[in-house]
Amino acid sequence: MTLDLSLGDRSDTDRLGAAMARALPESVAGWIVLLQGELGSGKSTLARAMLRTLGHTGTVPSPTYTLVEPYQLSKKTIYHVDLYRIVNPEDLDFLGWSDMEDGLRLIEWPERVPDLAGQADVLVELRYAGNGRAAELTGLTDRGRKYCARVTPL
């Protein structure tokens, strides 16, 4: 299923992130959520809102240079990943990709690794829409589809 949302301003993106966090299951081990969209479309804003809703109180630095920012939260482990600088899909191994299976991998610039779509649970596509943004959520697995049905943000 696909969920189409209009995000008129930044607070709507924050609300979607909060709703996405609340809709997560108790255990997120092995979950992969792709955040796709051009520069400035709101991928990091969405990730930040999710992390805050899950209880993270500090800053949420961009993983552009570190590639992975891990968050050990009270109930969940989240890996915020940015693949912008990945050139070869094999580079994922150097990131410790398989060591991240104990948590939720939240991936910006997933299109750098085309095979990822076949592994992911949820695809979030963000785009510019007037002064705001629009988001499309698509469940790619059974559990991803059930998850999307639980996301009711605005």
Ligand X SMILES: Nc1ncnc2c1ncn2[C@@H]1O[C@H](COP(=O)(O)OP(=O)(O)O)[C@@H](O)[C@H]1O
Residues that bind ligand X (CB under 6 A): 7, 9-10, 12-13, 37, 39-45, 108, 132-133
Q: Taking CB under 5 A as the rule, does residue 13 contact Mg ion?
A: no
Identify residue 27 by its one-letter amino acid code.
S
Among 43, 76, 105, 112, binds Mg ion (CB under 5 A): 43
Q: Is 36 in the site for Mg ion (CB under 5 A)?
A: no
Q: Which does 25 bind (CB under 5 to 8 A by kind): ligand X, Mg ion, none?
A: none
Q: Kindly tell me which of 134 and 148 has the beta carbon lying closer to ligand X.
A: 134
Measured CA angle at 20 (ends 61, 30), to 5 deg: 80
φ, ψ at 86 (rounded to 5°): -80, 130
Least Cβ distance, residue 44 to ligand X (angstroms): 3
Q: How far is the CB of 108 from Mg ion (least distance, A)?
A: 5
Nearer to ligand X, 41 or 138 (CB): 41
Instruction: Give SS3 for 77.
Output: strand
**Closest distance of CB 143 from ligand X, Å:** 25
Chosen from Mg ion, ligand X, none, partner binding at 39 (C-beta under 5 to 8 Å by type): ligand X
Beta bridge partners of 125: 36, 136
Q: Which two tokens stand for residue 84?
A: 């912008």
3-state SS assignment for residue 139 = strand
Question: How far apart are alpha carbons 46 and 102 in whole angstroms?
Answer: 21
CA atoms within 13 A on the CB side of 29: 3
Q: Which is nearer to ligand X, 135 or 140 (CB)?
A: 135
**Interface positions with Mg ion (CB under 5 A):** 43-44
